[in-house]
Structure 1
């Protein structure tokens, strides 16, 4: 056998969807991060005729357990909920304030276990019942727009909206956490971002191994420069504002 496969799991790619999917993926990774290793794969459901392209993510240096990937899923879900509120606010702004309405969407991850393993291994060798996560494969140029310290790495003007979103997360959480590590794909024709695997720094350190608590929050607030979108989304002053706002 030349592929790995997972057990089936409910994957609400569309909210309310109760279909169960299993994923299969090859032996060679196409991307490696600080903590994760990523494989191209396909997700299958008995109710779909055509498999869905996905990426399967595993822990890079050790056998992932349920807690590791439930935390990964939690970070995506927390950020996805905030993005929905952020998009609603964005839609209320008149065209006089914003030339176009940008939308943010964070992918939904499915957490499951390895069912069958390849008899060969190129790189990581999976263990029986090791936990992984799979999610939709993003089409387009994958980019880290803002890193885990809050530094903007892509100076495209559209990234101003992501800087505002990071600021927004800090304000609406009552300064209890801040979202950064924003990476994924920007689709210029649709003026939207599809994002994955965010970093959340929190006061309580409740968002996994990437959560650097107060030092992480301080790094982000130090590296943030308020732009013209920040005050549009803010309803109250914040210590995040470093006095450099354009409005």
Structure 2
């Protein structure tokens, strides 16, 4: 199976809730010929227009911009990087179930050569390793929230720890207006993160909302429904259609976020 710029195995080697992944090799550019790559397609739909991947590309590029600023600010020994997304069209394909179709558009990126791990998702899950030996992962989420005055957060942090950096893929951006596609769980995803987050050496100086900030804002029954939903998306990506907060409650939570993010830390 091939596309314009890569050849790949039509049998997937991994999948999440949203995409399937196929192992491949680059056929161009010249600097990458023969190197491993990963081809990904949507599980639920066929992608016949290149622009349908625009949100995916924009999220990855925006996440890298945030990561650059985070790395420069904290000067960590292991800076955070994200893979670059390329959109390719499939030019040849066998007739196999679950394989990309002829002329379908897929995304392709460099293969991450390391032990793949999911440190955080987009609905409050933070792995034990992220809490102990990879503290920059939840700190990056917290910092991105603070950096945007409580209006955005980089989430769904997954990838590998390499010799001198973290290399991540498939991030999610949570936004105050749910503009970044079906995995943008918005202020509800941010709220669920802060329900479990414990600040570490990177983010201890940053403002953070606590449950007391939401007394009288979130109905107890609604918060209970969110808590029940958390285990169902542990270690995987949540979707917008699974959210529980009503728009008026989300707006109230966002106002609280902005007030908290504006606090001066002493």
TM-score by length of 2: 0.73
Counterpart position of 2:255:
none
Counterpart position of 2:121:
147
Structure 1 vs Structure 2 CA RMSD: 2.3
Counterpart position of 1:207:
180
2:189 to 216, 221, 239: 216
User: Is the helix fraction higher in 1 or 2?
Assistant: 2
Distance (Å, rounded) in 1 between the aligned partners of 2:122 and 2:145 = 14
Q: Mind listing any 5+ residue stretches in structure 2 that lack a counterpart? A: 214-265
Q: Mind listing any 5+ residue stretches in structure 1 that lack a counterpart? A: 8-21, 92-99
Q: Secondary structure at the match of 1:63?
A: coil
1:109 counterpart = 2:93 = no
Counterpart position of 1:5:
2
Report matched runs for 1:1-247 at 5 Å: 4-7=1-4, 22-45=5-28, 47-48=30-31, 50-64=33-47, 65-91=49-75, 101-118=77-94, 120-121=95-96, 123-155=97-129, 157-187=132-162, 189-190=163-164, 192-231=165-204, 234=206, 237-239=207-209
Structure 1 residue 154, shift from structure 2 partner: 3.8
Describe the shift of the 1:241–1:81 C-alpha distance in structure 2 as closer, same or farther (beyond 3 A): farther
| Structure 1 stretch displaced more, 42-51 or 207-216 | 42-51
Contact kept, 8 Å, 1:146 with 1:154, in 2: the verdict is no
User: Is the strand fraction higher in 1 or 2?
Assistant: 1
Listed one character per residue, the Cα deviations across residues 155-190 of structure 1 (whole Å, up to 9, x for unaligned) are 252321111100011011121111111000012x42
Structure 1 residue 215, shift from structure 2 partner: 1.7
How many residue pairs get matched? 212
Structure 1 residue 27, shift from structure 2 partner: 1.6
Structure 1 residue 114, shift from structure 2 partner: 1.4
